[in-house]
């Protein structure tokens, strides 16, 4: 496994891959790796000749400075995991490499940045779009792998690739969960034991809502039931619980079984913000 820190260091390896007609798979991460990240890497290794993983905590996608400051940094642990997975290359740029100066541009994603995550995290997707664009320009992968848990982010990145004509295929990998259903997330490391137990309200609510919809219950009635469930849990504060069309990520006011739909949720458990989603008819 080779670690590099600048685009110039990667250039000769990219040229060699190009000349050898090898497929480059790319997994961008912010570190604090878990099995969900490893699923992305394993998918890359199955369909690519070379797998590149980046580790970079991107400051401009955080709209809460405290959240950025508390983001777990576990570099040595991460590198051991990546070596065990036989990753070919790891890109670990310094902050000044990615941002010699504060970016003066922003990227707008239309309605995608006004709903759900976009509404509650203003500027977040612009920050995501800028860093992903930079990473795509540096790595120049043929394929890039993203987790379904960040479903709206996947929609944003697909829009970025389409609008800016990046020659990269975006591959979505299903959400990895704990045995009790909690979606794996680096933020889970910050939950205390009580918060960890109460965090299951997200997954249980998604499953309950999915079952109700499949049985024919009206969506607005389902959502009201879930909102009531959150109001009865003192440790939980619901931000949104919405039904979306999975591919275009547009909000739906009723369930239509002829369309691919997913339920999305975001909530605070204590002071930790968690998100999750569940496809109804994948």
Residue 216 annotated as part of some ligand binding site: no
**In this structure, are residues 257 and 216 in contact, taking their beta carbons and an 8 Å threshold?**
no
Residue 153 annotated as part of some ligand binding site: yes
Strand ranges across the sheet with 50-55: 2-4, 89-91, 50-55, 24-29, 143-147, 169-173
Residue 197 annotated as part of some ligand binding site: no
Residue 2 annotated as part of some ligand binding site: no
Residue 225 annotated as part of some ligand binding site: no
Catalytic member of 16, 37, 124, 142 = 37
Residue 259 annotated as part of some ligand binding site: no
Residue 36 annotated as part of some ligand binding site: yes
Residue 31 annotated as part of some ligand binding site: yes
Which residues on adjacent β-strands are paired with residue 25?
A: 51, 143
Would you state the torsion angle of the CA atoms of residues 152, 154, 155, 159, taken in this order, to the nearest 10 degrees? 140
**In terms of DSSP H, where are the helices of 232-274?**
none
Residue 25 annotated as part of some ligand binding site: no
Residues whose CB falls within 8 Å of the CB of residue 62, separated by 6 or more in sequence, listed in order: 68, 71, 124, 127
Residue 254 annotated as part of some ligand binding site: no
Q: Which helix (H) or strand (E) holds 124?
A: helix 124-139
**In terms of DSSP H, where are the helices of 20-103?**
35-47, 65-69, 75-84, 95-98
Residue 185 annotated as part of some ligand binding site: yes
Residue 187 annotated as part of some ligand binding site: yes
Instruction: Give CA–CA dist 10/52, Å, rounded.
Output: 10
DSSP 177: B
Instruction: Give CA–CA dist 116/251, Å, rounded.
Output: 9
Residue 198 annotated as part of some ligand binding site: no
Instruction: Give CA–CA dist 251/261, Å, rounded.
Output: 9
Q: Would residue 37 show up in a list of annotated catalytic residues for this protein? A: yes
Instruction: Give CA–CA dist 72/55, Å, rounded.
Output: 12
Residue 184 annotated as part of some ligand binding site: yes
Q: Which residues are annotated as a binding site for (R)-pantoate?
A: 61, 153
Catalytic residues, which ones?
A: 37
Which residues carry a binding-site annotation for ATP?
Answer: 30-37, 147-150, 184-187
Binding residues: 30-37, 61, 147-150, 153, 184-187
Annotated binding site for beta-alanine: 61
């Amino acid at each position: 496994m080779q670690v590099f820190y600048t685009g110039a260091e990667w250039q000769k390896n990219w040229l060699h891959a190009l000349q050898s007609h090898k497929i480059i798979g790319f997994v961008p991460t912010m570190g604090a790796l878990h099995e969900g990240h490893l699923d992305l890497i394993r998918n890359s290794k199955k369909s690519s000749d070379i797998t590149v993983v980046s580790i970079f905590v991107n400051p401009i996608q955080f709209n809460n400075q405290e959240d950025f400051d508390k983001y777990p940094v576990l570099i040595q642990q991460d590198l051991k995991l990546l070596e065990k997975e036989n990753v070919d290359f790891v890109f670990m740029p310094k902050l000044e490499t990615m941002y010699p100066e504060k970016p003066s541009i922003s990227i707008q994603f239309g309605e995608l940045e006004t709903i759900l995550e976009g509404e509650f995290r203003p500027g977040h997707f612009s920050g995501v779009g800028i860093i992903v664009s930079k990473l795509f320009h540096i790595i120049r992968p043929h394929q890039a792998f993203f987790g379904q848990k960040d479903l709206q982010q996947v929609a944003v990145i697909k829009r970025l690739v389409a609008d800016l004509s990046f020659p990269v295929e975006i591959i979505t990998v299903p959400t990895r969960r704990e045995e009790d259903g909690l979606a794996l997330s680096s933020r889970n490391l910050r939950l205390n034991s009580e918060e960890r137990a109460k965090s299951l309200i997200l997954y249980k609510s998604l499953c309950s809502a999915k079952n109700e919809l499949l049985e024919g219950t009206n969506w607005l009635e389902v959502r009201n039931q879930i909102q009531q469930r959150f109001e009865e849990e003192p440790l939980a504060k619901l931000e949104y619980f919405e039904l979306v069309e999975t591919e275009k990520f547009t909000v739906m006011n009723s369930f239509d079984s002829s369309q691919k739909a997913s339920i999305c949720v975001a909530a605070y458990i204590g002071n930790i913000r968690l998100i999750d989603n569940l496809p109804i008819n994948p």
